[in-house]
Amino acid sequence: MSKERNDKIYEGMFVDATEGILVSNHKGQIILCNPSAQRMFGYTHDEFLALNIDQLMPMRFQSHHVHHREGYFANPMPRSMGKGRDLYANHKNGEEFPVEISLSHVKNGEETLVVAFIIDIAERKKKDNQLKKANEMLKKASFQLSKLNQELEQKVQSRTLELAEMIKKLTESKKEVDLALEKEKELNDLKSRFISTASHEFRTPLATILSSVSLAGKYADKQELEKIFKHLDRVKDSVSNLTDILNDFLSLDKLEEGIIQPHPEPTHVYDLIVDLLDTMKGITKSGQVFNYQDETNNEKVFIDVRIFRNLLINLVSNAVKYSEENKTITLKTEFKGQKLFILVQDEGIGIPYEDQSNIFERFYRANNIGNIQGTGLGLNIVKKYIEILNGDITFESEPGVGTRFLIEIPV
Ligand code: ADP
Residue 321: which residues within 8 A CB-CB, separation 6 or more?
372, 373, 374
| CB-CB contact of 101 with 117 (8 Å) | yes
Whether the CB-CB separation of 121 and 98 falls below 8 Å is answered with: yes
Provide the pairing of β-strand 289-294 with 328-336.
parallel
pLDDT at 287 (0 to 100)? 95
Provide the pLDDT confidence category of residue 282 given band limits of 50, 70 and 90: confident
Q: Is 329 left (phi over 0), alpha (psi -120 to 50) or beta?
A: beta
CB 60, CB 85: distance < 8 Å: no
pLDDT over 90 percentage in the chain: 54
| Cβ atoms within 10 Å, residue 271 | 12
194 — phi, psi (to 5°)? Answer: -60, -45
- What is the best residue among 288, 318, 353, 367 to mutate for testing ligand 1's pocket, by most ligand atoms within 8 Å of CB? 318
**Minimum mean pLDDT among 131-135, 181-185, 250-254: which range?**
250-254
Does pLDDT of 255 surpass 70? no
Q: What is the percentage of the chain residues whose pLDDT exceeds 70? A: 91
Q: What is the pLDDT of residue 33?
A: 95
What pTM did the predictor assign? Answer: 0.50
140-191 confidence digits (pLDDT tens): 999 999 999 999 999 999 999 999 999 999 999 999 999 988 888 877 776 6
Separation of alpha carbons 46 and 97, rounded Å:
22
| Region 196-201 average pLDDT | 63
Among the ranges given (74-78, 289-293, 358-362), the one the predictor scored with the smallest mean pLDDT: 74-78
For range 5-12, the mean pLDDT: 88
State residue 243's pLDDT score: 66
Residues 66-84: what's their mean pLDDT? 76
* Res 225: pLDDT: 85
Name the more confident of 279 and 154.
154
What separation in Å is there between the alpha carbon of 104 and the centre of ligand 1?
123
Atom number in ligand 1 closest to CA 323: 24
Q: Is 303 helix (H, G, I), strand (E, B) or coil?
A: strand
- Lowest mean pLDDT segment, chosen from 26-40, 48-62, 194-208: 194-208
Phi, psi of 90 (to 5 degrees): -105, 125
* Average of per-residue pLDDT across 366-386: 85
Give distance in angstroms: CA of 318 to centre of ligand 1: 6
Phi, then psi, of 367 in degrees rounded to 5: -90, 5
Nearest to 252 by CA among 194, 207, 338: 194
Q: How far apart are CA 389 and CA 259, in angstroms?
A: 13
Determine the Cα–Cα distance for residues 405 and 218; give it in Å rounded to an integer: 36
Question: Which atom of ligand 1 is least distant from the CA of 405?
Answer: 23
Give the span between the Cα atoms of 361 and 181, in whole angstroms: 19
Specify the residue with its C-alpha closest to ligand 1, atom 13: 365
Q: Is residue 36 classed as helix, strand or coil in its secondary structure? A: helix
Which of 290, 311, 365, 372 should be mutated for ligand 1, with most atoms under 8 A from CB?
A: 365
- 108: CA distance to ligand 1 center in Å? 136
| Mean pLDDT within 241-268 | 71
Atom 25 of ligand 1, residue of closest alpha carbon = 350
Ligand 1 is surrounded, with C-beta below 6 A, by 200, 318-319, 322, 346, 348-351, 359, 364-366, 369, 374-380, 403
Query: For residue range 343-357, what is the model confidence (pLDDT) as tens digits?
Result: 999 999 999 999 999
Q: Is residue 101 within 8 Å of 87, Cβ to Cβ? A: yes
The reported pLDDT for the residue numbered 158 is: 93
Question: What is the structure's pLDDT at 17?
Answer: 93
pLDDT for the residue 178: 92
Q: Is 233 helix (H, G, I), strand (E, B) or coil?
A: helix
Contacts of 184 (CB under 8 A, 6+ apart): none
Q: How many angstroms separate the Cα of 46 from the Cα of each of 32, 43, 50, 91, 114?
A: 10, 8, 7, 16, 19
Asked if the model's pLDDT at residue 405 lies above 90, the reply is yes
Alpha carbon distance 45, 35 (integer Å)? 8
Cα–ligand 1 centroid distance for 366 (angstroms): 7
